[in-house]
Chain A
Amino acid sequence: ETGVTQSPTHLIKTRGQQVTLRCSSQSGHNTVSWYQQALGQGPQFIFQYYREEENGRGNFPPRFSGLQFPNYSSELNVNALELDDSALYLCASSLAGGPGYEQYFGPGTRLTVT
């Protein structure tokens, strides 16, 4: 069974730039959620994708957008980067209709905005 993978591991961008983060879900999982974890805080839900459609969104502006592909992998795009976007971005996969408590996280992408 393949776990959740994310790329890249680290990224440094300049304020105003755009960034794309990638996630491959665990084998057999069809739902992907993205979270932002600022230093010293818990993960904050950004959005979830199921069947290539957004299936719920947290309190994040529209410059945070995503995609899910037919193989269930996913991308998180952030436009017009701000300094406060510096954080660990976590992807988690789960199975729709599976146990409601179950999701598996990837190792995250650490984004630094200067």
Chain B
Amino acid sequence: QKEVEQDPGPLSVPEGAIVSLNCTYSNSAFQYFMWYRQYSRKGPELLMYTYSSGNKEDGRFTAQVDKSSKYISLFIRDSQPSDSATYLCAMSYTNAGKSTFGDGTTLTVKP
């Protein structure tokens, strides 16, 4: 079993919908929780991060971490066609450079 499991998708939603992306993990030592966005044939770009438990909001994006359940989520409000990409969750217990990634969820937002 993988250390990080991500809901595989793919997801297809209409423009303006609320999107929920989720990952579970097994290693309780993880402290840093990141979400990356990856467009086709590009490297991942950091979207959101959370240290330890709690919520963090940035514009239309909200990241949640529940360490007791070993569950993290990314919510996207008022989704836009430009949000269409693959979303990767990642976790680390030391520094981001040694992250463990989920396999990604591909999101398509239809106009």
Residues of chain A at the chain B interface (Cβ within 8 Å): 4, 31-33, 35, 40-45, 48, 56, 58, 90, 92, 94, 96, 99-108, 110
Contact = CB atoms under 8 A, between A and B. Distances in A.
Nearest to B8: A40
A105 B96 contact: no
Contacts of B92: 100-101
Given A45-B98, A48-B98, A100 B45 contact: no
Given A31-B95, A107-B41, 13 more contacts: A32-B97, A42-B6, A42-B88, A43-B44, A90-B43, A90-B44, A92-B96, A101-B34, A101-B51, A102-B46, A103-B97, A108-B43, A110-B41
Given A42-B6, A42-B88, A94-B96, A103 B101 contact: no
| Chain A to chain B: the 4 pairs with minimum beta-carbon distance, closest first | A42-B101, A105-B43, A101-B49, A33-B97
Interface string B49-77: 10100000000000000000000000000
Contact of A102 (B6, B96, B100): B96
Interface string B24-50: 000000011010000001111110010
Contacts of B6: 42
A102 B99 CA distance: 10
Contacts of B4: 42
Contacts of B104: 40-42
B32 A103 contact: no
Contacts of B103: 40-42
Contacts of A92: 43, 96-97
18 contacts: A32-B97, A35-B101, A40-B104, A41-B103, A41-B104, A42-B101, A43-B44, A43-B101, A45-B99, A90-B44, A92-B97, A100-B31, A100-B94, A101-B49, A102-B96, A105-B44, A108-B41, A108-B43
Nearest to B33: A101
A84 B94 CA distance: 29
Contacts of B96: 92, 94, 99-103
Residue in B4, B88, B101, B102 whose Cβ sees the most chain A Cβ within 10 Å: B101
